[in-house]
Amino acid sequence: MTTTAKKDSNRFTIAVSCPGCGGELQLDDNFFAIECKHCGSGHRILMPDSPPAFVAELKVTKQKARYAIDRYLKDKGLPLTNSDYQLKRMYYPYWKIDAILFRVRKGIVKKVVVASTNYDEKEISYNKEKSDISLSPYTTSIQAGLNFDSLPASLGLRSEYLKLFPVSDEHIEADFDLLPVLKPWDDVRNSLNQHIGAISSYDKDLFGVNKTSLHCPKVMLLYFPFFLFDFYDDDNFNRFVIDGVTGRVLNHVTSIEYKTAASFEPTKVTLGEIAIVPHRCNNCGEDLPPEKSLVYICQ
């Protein structure tokens, strides 16, 4: 199972093989039904109750990562890297969430009108109540592992164009460590709901019932590759964090606060797999409409 990017769309896309002909299927963000462009057969996507886990494809070698650091240092007018460095290769886990953001807002809007008389024009202002209800897509990624100050707290837009594989030994690059999950999804969901729910309290002009909430979240565990180069230059510590997909320098850290070691127990995460089944009538075998429904009328 892999993912491909759509440059003209900000959607997460998974490419899978058609069970009928073996051709590549493109599943857009509705994650429900798709028609094979090769053989014309219809398929339905079954999302698991438990979040599936994927690993992002590594596209950068150690040599390219170090070259990116030297180019960064050269642009800054700093000495280049030396041969005495420590390299850490890791897949760091993130929770990726795609959901619908529901917003209800009631506020006071100031209106100004001009009242005309035979002798004068006068501006009159008054307050008017206004209500807004909106639905919008919401996507975010949140760290799921041990807190690393030098690693990004979120993957940002990178999570929308990654090429992904199911987590398995064959898809884990050699010398890379798969870091454990320490933040379970239930805890992340609760903190995310609290953060989203508190947004409506920021505006003092709001009144009555104001609400912001997430609905229909689609969750997956996404392991992202990083290179961490640690070395000393004239007794000064340097750590460079390299994006394992683009090869960019994400962070340059010159000091790390070492805290007292604590015992961390990896969280037991139950993972699921996305399945593909024929989207056809059980009686005659004809393809059903791609619209999501509980009841279908076969033609």
Which three-class secondary structure string do you get for 10-47? CCCCEEEECCCCCCEEEECCCCCEEECCCCCCEEEEEC
pLDDT digits (tens, 9 = 90+) for 4-18: 333 333 334 455 677
Q: What is the pLDDT of residue 229?
A: 93
Taking only the tens place, the pLDDT of each residue in 206-251 is 666 778 888 888 888 999 999 999 888 777 888 999 999 999 999 9
Whether the predicted model's global pTM rises above the 0.85 cut: no
Tokens found for residue 165: 């594989």
Distance, CA of 104 to CA of 197 (rounded, Å): 11
Paired sense of beta strands 53-56 and 211-233, if any:
parallel
* pLDDT band (50, 70, 90) for residue 272: confident
Helix H segments across 144-214? 185-198
Query: 224, 144 in Cβ contact below 8 A?
Result: no
pLDDT value at 267 more than 70: no
pLDDT at position 265 is 67
Which residue is listed with tokens 């699921």?
Answer: 272
Strand pairing class (211-233; 85-116): antiparallel
Alpha-carbon distance 65 to 87, whole Å?
11
- What is the band of 176 on the pLDDT scale with cuts at 50, 70, 90? very high
Secondary structure class of 98 (helix, strand, coil): strand
User: Taking residues 142-160, what's their average pLDDT?
Assistant: 85
Mean pLDDT of 262-271: 65
Residue 126: pLDDT band with limits 50, 70, 90: confident
Mean pLDDT of 261-269: 61
**If pLDDT is split at 50, 70 and 90, which confidence band does 3 have?**
very low
What pLDDT shows up at residue 63? 93
What pLDDT digit, counting tens, does each position of 42-52 carry? 787 777 777 88
SS3 call for 172: coil
Q: Average pLDDT in the 262-276 region?
A: 69
Strand ranges, E, within the chain: 2-3, 14-17, 24-27, 33-35, 42-46, 53-56, 85-116, 121-143, 164-166, 177-178, 211-233, 236-243, 249-253, 275-278
